[in-house]
Structure 1
């Protein structure tokens, strides 16, 4: 088997795997060859490895047919792995997303509840973790969302094979500007007009590499393709409306024109022109800080194209997230999370133009 060229970069550069590491690799049946390649590369770097496999049939049988009470408890085997793991590699799935749309909000909430102990331990032990998004690129998923499979596959490989040093330098500049700003205003031709307080919040540069500085900040996750800067805005500071102009895949559906409206620092409405009902139903039933603008993300990746499953890395884009933000050092905790993106926004930091219609101006 010939391993994809990016495998070595993920192992050696992004996760910095070496002797003494214990790497847990989560894979689906359709990504098993890639998981094997990662395991071999980790072993060549001196690490020990463990593979955990899921299949579409096992997954859907559990989430669609089992009693909800069985979904709420964490998997003790997966949880125990985190007592010894120093790094994780997650390969994306399932292969076919068609049945995702049949998962009820109650079942989705139960699964999120089951994942809480797992996510808490990842954060507590600061286990370096990489999510490999290329596992989403399947003919079945392309058909479900109406994507051109070959074009999608070419784009995701191009978005992984970028100049990481250049992206890191750009991310450093963007992060510094965001940390210096007290207030950010995002506007766009589609009617977006949202203001958030930043007030010196730490920025988290997702350049694909988890270094010691990232770990100190609690930024232990990366996703490939990478390329964005994330900030947790000041709690209850959002005012205005954020209107997505890029379709967003979510649970087997393609959501269009998602609109998030904030009043008095709280999300008061979540609407969309197509397929937003399922997300809204999950939001209504969710618990915790579900009504907060909790993520602000600026894209850095020059090769990523809009309309697939990684909109938040598109160069010059702005993504707004709601729900849990502890992953980037925030205080919001919830069993709900969602995001949407404006592709060519204008952004002002303390009244000074920072991004003009999707292009940086510094």
Structure 2
């Protein structure tokens, strides 16, 4: 499909982030999507906002991560920290390498050191005082790493970006109504998931394509694009039971059928069809509340039909849930960690205070 990047940039600025005149906007991307970042910046400039664009190449990111010391990687650049502190809006146009295969060349302890150095900056981004939009830009190299056709990946991504946002917002609100004030959520799946957790007293966040005044007042001025989920931070000590995650990715590496046990919120790996060593290594090298339940999310985007391997897309699939471990303060929780990792459960059955709202991937509610 042909993509009108300028139109999408306009929507991000005017509809999604609702940027206003004289606001400061920092846009961070990759060398290959500089033109797209600049279109977003131009849309900001035309309405009188003050954008700044910063991009990097895969080559630089790889060499920085592999050719410098661990002590260097743990440093936090104070001028970048000041830039973010003085930004009203941050737009991230790059979650991944242009070529994810390069990320496998970086030892996990070096990723951990980088996450440690970046954490003070992320803490500012997600302190509730500024808006954040996180998105990406699909590439043939990413499609190859997922083992999918690029045309299919490309079209799925941009179709998911261009959904009917008012309809998506209505769908998200319908689901949020069911979850507000609820106490106990139970999750099952055909592969053996049987988990109980509590969301009592936690705010219900809607990733519906728009950061509106309600989101700002609620302390949830954050947005993923493509959008399409309702998520929350469960009580961190409440998760008990077994989960089998159908799929997960870490720096371009795939994990399949990961079986874990939660006990009083803490996760213990039990086995996996593929990638158990990756999961164990990430936990070993991360810091803080890295192994505690952090998030429960329910997908709502009708344009995403099946798991591709891109978490940004996969977690939006209608009929799936995802759980994250680690950092969750931006979602209303208390975990403080260098890690936030989303993993997907397909064909889930979900009960809320004993009421079935989803059965094997099909909503029992009239919201889709």
Structure-1-length-normalised TM-score: 0.95
Q: Please name the residue that 2:326 is paired with.
A: 323
Whole-Å Cα distance in 1 between the matches of residues 185 and 114 of structure 2? 34
Cα shift readout 1:170-197 (whole Å, capped 9, x = no counterpart): 1112112112211010111111111101
Cα shift readout 1:291-344 (whole Å, capped 9, x = no counterpart): 211100011111113222121111121101100101211101112221211122
- Does the C-alpha gap of structure 1 residues 33 and 260 become closer, same or farther in structure 2, counting only changes over 3 Å? same
Q: Please name the residue that 1:299 is paired with.
A: 299
Deviating beyond 6 angstroms after TM superposition, the runs of 4 or more aligned structure 1 residues are none
Matched, 1:345 2:345: no
Matched, 1:150 2:121: no
Whole-Å Cα distance in 2 between the matches of residues 6 and 295 of structure 1? 29
Shift in Å, 1:263: 2.2
1:95 maps to which of 95, 98, 118: 98
Matched, 1:84 2:90: no
Whole-Å Cα distance in 1 between the matches of residues 192 and 321 of structure 2? 14
2:71 maps to which of 64, 69, 72: 69
More deviation in 92-101 or 11-20?
Answer: 92-101
Shift in Å, 1:3: 3.4
- Does the C-alpha gap of structure 1 residues 33 and 109 become closer, same or farther in structure 2, counting only changes over 3 Å? same
1:8 maps to which of 10, 14, 33: 10
Instruction: Let me know the Cα RMSD of the aligned residues.
Output: 1.6
The answer to whether the 8 Å contact 1:270/1:280 transfers is no
Cα shift readout 1:35-72 (whole Å, capped 9, x = no counterpart): 11111111112111111111111100011121110000
Q: Please name the residue that 1:121 is paired with.
A: 124
The answer to whether the 8 Å contact 2:202/2:332 transfers is no
Cα shift readout 1:162-218 (whole Å, capped 9, x = no counterpart): 111111111112112112211010111111111101113110000021112212232
User: 1:133-172 alignment to 2 at 5 Å?
Assistant: 133=136, 135=137, 137-172=138-173
- Does the C-alpha gap of structure 1 residues 270 and 293 become closer, same or farther in structure 2, counting only changes over 3 Å? farther
Whole-Å Cα distance in 1 between the matches of residues 68 and 276 of structure 2? 26
- Does the C-alpha gap of structure 1 residues 359 and 4 become closer, same or farther in structure 2, counting only changes over 3 Å? farther
User: 1:172-211 alignment to 2 at 5 Å?
Assistant: 172-211=173-212
The answer to whether the 8 Å contact 1:217/1:329 transfers is no
Shift in Å, 1:270: 5.6
Whole-Å Cα distance in 2 between the matches of residues 42 and 131 of structure 1? 16
Shift in Å, 1:2: 6.2
Unaligned runs of 5+ in 2: none
Matched, 1:217 2:203: no
Whole-Å Cα distance in 1 between the matches of residues 80 and 306 of structure 2? 34
Shift in Å, 1:125: 6.0
Q: Please name the residue that 2:36 is paired with.
A: 34
SS of 2:54's equivalent in the other structure is strand
- Does the C-alpha gap of structure 1 residues 312 and 325 become closer, same or farther in structure 2, counting only changes over 3 Å? same
Whole-Å Cα distance in 1 between the matches of residues 329 and 335 of structure 2? 6
More deviation in 323-332 or 72-81?
Answer: 72-81
The answer to whether the 8 Å contact 2:134/2:224 transfers is yes
- Does the C-alpha gap of structure 1 residues 270 and 292 become closer, same or farther in structure 2, counting only changes over 3 Å? farther
Shift in Å, 1:228: 0.4
